[in-house]
Structure 1
Amino acid sequence: MSNIQSASQRYLKEWKISADKLDYWGEHFLPFYEPFFIQNEEIVHQLLNQGFVIFTQAEFYDTYPSFYIDYGFIYNLWEIPYKTYVWMCSSDQRAQVSADLLQAIFQEQYILQRGQVYQENELKYYDKQAIEYISTIESMSNRFPYGEHSYLLLTSDLWQTYPMEMKNNWIQQWMLEQMKDHPRGIKEIGSIDVHPFVKNRVEQYNGSFADQCGANCFAATLALASSPDHTDSIIQLWLHQAPFLRSLDALNYDQVFAITDTTQLGMIEPLDVLIWNNAEEQAIHASFCIAPDYIFTKMGQSWIQPWLATTMVSIFDYADVIQNGGQIKVYRKR
Structure 2
Amino acid sequence: MEKIYLDEQTLDKWSEIAVPNVDLFFFETIDEIRNYMPSESFFIPRSEFNEHGSYQTIDIINSYQLWAVSKKGKYVCVAPPQLFPTIDLEKKMAILEIQKRLNRGLIYNWSDLQGGLHSLPLSIQMDTLDKIESYLIQDEEETLIVFQKEMWSLLPKVFKRNVLSRLAESYMDEVPDLMNVKVPSSIEKYINRFPAANGPNCFAATLAAATENVEAREWIITQWVHLETLLLGLEMRGYQEIDSGMDQLEPKDIVLWKNDNANIIHASFHLENGLFFNKNGQTFFNPWQIVKRETLISNWGSNISVYRVGRYKKWKEQI
Please give the range of the TM-score, normalised by the shorter of the 2 chains. 0.7 to 0.9
Indicate the larger mover: 229-238 or 75-84. 75-84
Name 2:314's counterpart in structure 1. none
**Compared CA separation, residues 122 and 221, structure 1 to 2 (3 A):** closer
Q: 1:278 aligns with which of 247, 259, 266?
A: 259
TM score, norm. by length of structure 1: 0.79
C-alpha contact (below 8 Å) 2:128/2:156 kept by paired residues: no
Q: 1:134 aligns with which of 125, 128, 145?
A: 128
1:192-244 Cα offsets, whole Å, 9 max, x none, are 134xxxx1022111111223211111111111211132210111111111121
The offset of 1:298, in angstroms, is 0.9
Name the amino acid aligned to 2:255.
L
1:81-120 Cα offsets, whole Å, 9 max, x none, are 1120221212322255444433321221233343334566
1:52 aligns with 2:59: no
1:29-51 Cα offsets, whole Å, 9 max, x none, are 21111211222531223578712
Name 2:20's counterpart in structure 1. 31
1:223 aligns with 2:213: no
1:91 aligns with 2:72: no
1:45-100 Cα offsets, whole Å, 9 max, x none, are 35787122222333223224664742455334444311202212123222554444
The offset of 1:302, in angstroms, is 0.8
Distance 2:147 2:32 in 1: 21
Indicate the larger mover: 206-215 or 122-131. 122-131
- Percent of pairs with identical residues: 23
Indicate the larger mover: 297-306 or 62-71. 62-71
Distance 2:125 2:105 in 1: 19
**Compared CA separation, residues 133 and 201, structure 1 to 2 (3 A):** farther
C-alpha contact (below 8 Å) 2:26/2:76 kept by paired residues: yes
Mind listing any 5+ residue stretches in structure 2 that lack a counterpart? 312-319
Q: 1:156 aligns with which of 141, 149, 156?
A: 149
**Compared CA separation, residues 135 and 286, structure 1 to 2 (3 A):** closer
Mind listing any 5+ residue stretches in structure 1 that lack a counterpart? 1-10, 260-264
Distance 2:111 2:182 in 1: 47
Distance 2:110 2:5 in 1: 30
- 1:92 aligned counterpart, secondary structure: coil
C-alpha contact (below 8 Å) 1:43/1:101 kept by paired residues: no
Indicate the larger mover: 126-135 or 287-296. 126-135
Alpha-carbon RMSD: 3.0
TM score, norm. by length of structure 2: 0.82
Name the amino acid aligned to 2:310.
K
1:183 aligns with 2:183: no
Name the amino acid aligned to 2:190.
Y
1:202 aligns with 2:211: no
Distance 1:175 1:332 in 2: 34
Name 1:170's counterpart in structure 2. 163
Indicate the larger mover: 97-106 or 86-95. 97-106
C-alpha contact (below 8 Å) 1:211/1:236 kept by paired residues: no
**Compared CA separation, residues 55 and 276, structure 1 to 2 (3 A):** same
Distance 1:78 1:169 in 2: 26
Name 1:250's counterpart in structure 2. 236
- 1:104 aligned counterpart, secondary structure: helix
Name 1:293's counterpart in structure 2. 274
1:20 aligns with 2:6: no
**Compared CA separation, residues 67 and 311, structure 1 to 2 (3 A):** same
Name the amino acid aligned to 1:210.
P
Distance 1:132 1:40 in 2: 38
1:82 aligns with 2:71: yes
1:286-331 Cα offsets, whole Å, 9 max, x none, are 11111221111211111110111111221025434x3xxx333333
